[in-house]
């Protein structure tokens, strides 16, 4: 692939700081396949946001360990819970950490997206590492002194900023390194976010069991260790980032003359993108897709247990309410396998659908998500009614693959519509749709379920209305996606504006041909080491997940 001249890249005495964007422009011989594992190293860490629930139950009895009477105070207010040192925290108070984190993800991605484009992915990755890993360390301190407000600030507020910056840090870089495979490149990185909990949850459980004692539940120690691991791993990823010089292209690759009018050759400035109807249609597309998927994730375990009840353990005539505590524990283990299987399909879907979108186009891919998702949600009550556990599980595995695929495909969709110049920052602003969906989806699903419970509905009918509402969400998303059209010329930057935006990379040239690894140069030993470093934890997480999911088919 095309070599990059090092002329003008080595800097001088007056060169910008070593963390600046100018000093991470790739030099001759750099292998572009080193960038995806760097992105994965960061996303595998911040993906633990989906696995934080592993800490809540142990923390809800932290003060009761080793005491003759439980330290429960069921009537305390949230304000009291923030400062109490004598009452155990409630799970409902702890779950707010996740909500704060997801809201901060969207806000920080939107606010700091423009800064990321100017500062470069390495600087953003370092800040993300310090905030995410540091948030765990602050949370560890909060658990140690039993101050919930410290946990909220550490793991929610500070960690949420790291979550947002870490999530968007590789997007623009990968799209520019892989103009020939946009969907696949972003799918590889964002796949890591889906896999973070698959690795982090069993790791956290192992650490908690290692550190727990008759006098403590072992959570503060587990948080401290994981915080340290995350800082180191994310810093390694951040220092692995490089950006291509302006105008760089893979050796021998010529931008195809595409018949797909949705793929633009121009670039839209960050300040103009949100003024277009296309931006808000894509916002709605992401929000509706995520709202439907995240709503299922929020209730996946109780949903399977309450719909199938005793059928899960060979007692077809026994509903969930009629099971004793031992039987409920058995089906809870089966439901945990279901959740693990959904997580695995969430991960695989991110890579599969994003890669497929390179072939069939982003608009067609999203149309598939909405059309197929609508059919599966509408058919799920039928599968529950006939008692087909296999069909029910299959439907939701496919649904969750498309939920993950939506996250991985949206950056490439944005690059197609708005160009690559500011795609990272535009993606950051679009992630406010995720923050909105993180509130709307679970709130709606839990609200409908509670209304059904209050009405005395049980079994297969308990979630029927929920499925139809989520199907309606996807129908609305289908319409929003259908309305997306190519942008008018007035929105695009002029050649002079693009040149001014690229002025920092103007010294970088694209001269003679040379090796960039995979392709004509082959897979380099350094790339093999980098991929092995991220591949081992992924393989371990998949093995643990599959082992737990097998219980569904016994």
> What is the full DSSP assignment across 51-87?
GGGGGHHHHTTTTTTT-SS----TT--HHHHHH-SSS
Examine the pLDDT at 471 and tell me if it is beyond 80. yes
Core vs surface per residue 522-553: b (16+ CB within 10 A) or e: eebeebeebbebbeebbeebbebbeebbebbe
Beta bridge partners of 213: 216
Q: In the Cβ-directed half-sphere of 135, how many Cα atoms lie within 13 Å?
A: 28
What's the average model confidence in pLDDT over 274-289? 96
Q: pLDDT: is 135 or 189 the higher one?
A: 135
**Would you state the pLDDT for residue 38?**
95
pLDDT score of 152 more than 60: yes
Residue 256 has pLDDT above 80, yes or no: no
For residue 15, give both structure tokens: 């060169």
- The whole-number pLDDT of residue 88 equals 92
Q: Which of 257, 178, 109, 248 is nearest to 415 (CA)?
A: 178
pLDDT of residue 258: 59
pLDDT higher than 60, residue 517:
no
Q: What percent of the chain has pLDDT over 70?
A: 91
DSSP for 5-16? --TTTS--TTPP
**Residue 483: pLDDT over 80:** yes
Nearest residue to 285 via CA among 417, 187, 388, 184: 417
Domain borders along the chain are: 30-241+511-547, 245-510
pLDDT of residue 503: 57
Q: What is the pLDDT of residue 337?
A: 77
Superfamily (CATH H level) for 30-241+511-547: MFS general substrate transporter like domains (1.20.1250.20)
Number of Cβ within 10 Å of residue 328's Cβ equals 17
Q: Is 257's pLDDT higher than 70? A: no
User: What would the 3-class secondary structure string for 316-377 be?
Assistant: CCCCHHHCCHHHHHHHHHHHHHHHHHHHHHHHHHHHHHHHHHHHHCHHHHHHHHHHHHHHHH
Contact 348, 542 (CB under 8 A): no
Give the distance from CA 209 to its chain's centroid.
27
SS3 444: helix
Taking the C-alpha atoms of residue 412 and residue 167, their distance in angstroms, rounded to an integer, is: 15
Most confident segment among 195-204, 223-232, 483-492:
223-232
245-510, which class in CATH?
mainly alpha
Average pLDDT over residues 369-381: 94
Confidence band of 3 (pLDDT split at 50, 70, 90): very low
Cα angle 34-40-43, degrees, rounded to a multiple of 5: 150
Q: Quick one: average pLDDT of 401-425?
A: 91
Tokens representing 487 are: 């942008």
> Does the structure show a pLDDT above 50 at 520?
no
From residue 321, alpha-carbon distances to 138, 318, 330, 392, 447 in Å are 41, 8, 14, 21, 20
| 33 close to 518: Cβ distance less than 8 angstroms | yes
Q: What is the pLDDT of residues 331-352, one digit of tens each?
A: 877 877 787 788 889 889 999 9
Say whether pLDDT at 509 is over 80.
Answer: no
Look at residue 314 in the predicted model and tell me its pLDDT: 82
Q: How confident is the model at residue 445, as a pLDDT?
A: 83
If you average pLDDT over each of 86-100, 252-266, 436-450, which comes out highest?
A: 86-100
Q: What is the pTM of this model?
A: 0.83
Separation CA 136–CA 243 (nearest Å): 29
Section 523-536 average pLDDT: 89
Q: Please give the structure tokens belonging to residue 175.
A: 């799209």
CA–CA dist 174, 13 (Å, integer): 30
CB 55 within 8 A of CB 204: yes
Query: Which of helix, strand or coil describes residue 461?
Result: helix
CA-based radius of gyration for the chain: 24
Q: How big, in percent rounded to 5, are the helix, strand and coil portions of the chain?
A: 75, 0, 25
Distance CA(136)–CA(154), nearest Å, equals: 6
Residue 414: predicted pLDDT: 94
Whether 30-241+511-547 and 245-510 share one fold: the answer is yes
Rounded to whole angstroms, the Cα distance separating 230 from 536 reads 16
Gap between the Cα atoms of 539 and 407, Å rounded: 22
Q: Which of 35-49, 136-150, 492-506 has the lowest mean pLDDT?
A: 492-506
Which neighbouring-strand residues pair with 339? none
**pLDDT, tens only, 46-76:** 999 988 888 888 898 899 887 777 788 878 8
Q: How far apart are CA 399 and CA 171, in angstroms?
A: 24
Cα–Cα distance for residue pair 410/426, rounded to 1 Å: 11
Contact 137, 129 (CB under 8 A): no
| Model confidence band, residue 303 (pLDDT cutoffs 50, 70, 90) | confident
Q: pLDDT tens across 416-457, in order?
A: 999 988 888 899 999 999 889 888 888 888 888 888 888 888
% residues pLDDT > 90 (the chain) = 42
Say what the pLDDT of residue 440 is.
Answer: 86
| 496 burial via Cβ count (<10 Å: 0-12, 13-18, 19+) | exposed
Closest CA to 224 of 100, 294, 136: 136
Q: Would you say how long the chain is, in residues?
A: 554
For range 124-141, the mean pLDDT: 97
3-state DSSP assignment of residue 513: strand
- Residue 136: the pLDDT is 98
Amino acid 259: pLDDT: 62
Q: Highest-confidence range of 10-24, 290-304, 366-380, by mean pLDDT? A: 366-380
pLDDT interval class at 409 (50, 70, 90) = very high
pLDDT at 528 over 70: yes
* DSSP 8-state class, residue 8: T
**In the prediction, which pLDDT does 11 show?**
37
536 pLDDT above the threshold of 60: yes
Rounded to the nearest integer, the mean pLDDT of the chain is 85
Q: How confident is the model at residue 42 (pLDDT cuts 50, 70, 90)?
A: very high
| Separation of alpha carbons 411 and 191, rounded Å | 13
Query: Please, what sign has the CA dihedral across residues 107, 297, 303, 466?
Result: positive
> Which pLDDT does position 523 carry in this prediction?
66
């Amino acid at each position: 692939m095309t070599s990059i001249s090092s002329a003008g890249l080595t800097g001088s005495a007056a060169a910008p700081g070593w963390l600046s964007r100018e000093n991470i422009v790739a030099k001759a011989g750099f292998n572009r396949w080193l960038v995806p594992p760097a992105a994965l190293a960061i996303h595998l860490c911040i993906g633990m946001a989906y696995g934080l629930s592993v800490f809540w139950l142990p923390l809800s009895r932290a003060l009761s360990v080793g005491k003759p009477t439980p330290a429960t105070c069921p009537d305390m207010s949230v304000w009291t819970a923030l400062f109490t040192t004598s009452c155990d925290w409630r799970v409902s108070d702890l779950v707010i950490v996740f909500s704060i984190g997801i809201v901060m993800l969207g806000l920080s991605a939107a606010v700091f997206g423009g800064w990321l484009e100017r500062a470069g992915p390495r600087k953003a990755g370092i800040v993300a590492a310090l905030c995410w890993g540091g948030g765990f360390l602050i949370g560890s301190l909060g658990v140690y002194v039993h101050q919930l407000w410290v946990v909220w600030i550490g793991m929610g507020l500070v960690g949420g900023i790291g979550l947002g910056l870490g999530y968007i840090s590789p997007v623009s870089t990968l799209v520019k390194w892989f103009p020939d495979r946009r969907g696949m490149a972003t799918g590889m990185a964002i796949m890591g976010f889906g896999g973070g909990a698959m690795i982090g949850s069993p790791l956290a459980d192992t650490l908690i069991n290692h550190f727990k004692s008759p006098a403590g539940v072992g959570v503060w120690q587990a948080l401290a260790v994981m915080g340290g691991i995350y800082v180191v791993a994310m810093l390694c990823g951040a220092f692995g980032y490089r950006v291509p010089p302006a105008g760089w292209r893979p050796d021998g690759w010529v931008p195809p003359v595409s018949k797909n009018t949705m793929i633009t050759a121009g670039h839209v400035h960050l300040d103009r993108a949100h003024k277009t109807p296309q931006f808000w249609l894509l916002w709605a597309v992401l929000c509706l897709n995520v709202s439907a998927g995240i709503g299922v994730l929020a209730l996946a375990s109780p949903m399977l247990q309450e719909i199938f009840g005793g059928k899960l353990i060979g007692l077809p005539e026994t509903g969930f309410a009629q099971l004793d505590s031992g039987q409920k524990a058995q089906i809870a283990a089966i439901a945990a396998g279901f959740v693990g299987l959904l997580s695995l399909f969430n991960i695989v879907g991110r890579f599969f659908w994003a890669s497929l979108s390179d072939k069939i186009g982003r608009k067609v891919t999203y149309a598939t998500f909405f059309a197929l998702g609508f059919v599966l949600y509408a058919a799920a009550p039928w599968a529950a009614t006939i008692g087909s556990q296999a069909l029910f599980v299959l439907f939701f595995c496919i649904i969750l693959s498309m939920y993950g695929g939506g996250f991985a495909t949206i950056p490439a969709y944005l690059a197609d519509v708005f160009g690559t110049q500011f795609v990272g920052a535009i993606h950051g602003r679009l992630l406010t749709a995720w923050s909105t969906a993180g509130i709307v989806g679970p709130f709606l699903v839990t609200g409908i379920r509670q209304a059904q419970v209050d009405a005395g509905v049980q079994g297969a009918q308990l979630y029927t209305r929920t499925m139809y509402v989520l199907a309606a969400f996807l129908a609305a998303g289908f319409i929003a996606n259908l309305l997306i059209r190519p942008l008018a010329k007035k929105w695009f930057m002029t050649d002079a504006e693009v040149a001014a935006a690229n002025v920092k990379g103007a010294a970088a040239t694209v001269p003679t041909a040379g090796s960039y690894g995979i392709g004509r140069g082959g897979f380099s030993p350094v790339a093999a080491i980098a991929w092995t470093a991220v591949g081992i934890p992924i393989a371990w997480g998949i093995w643990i997940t599959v082992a737990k999911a097998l219980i569904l088919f016994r």
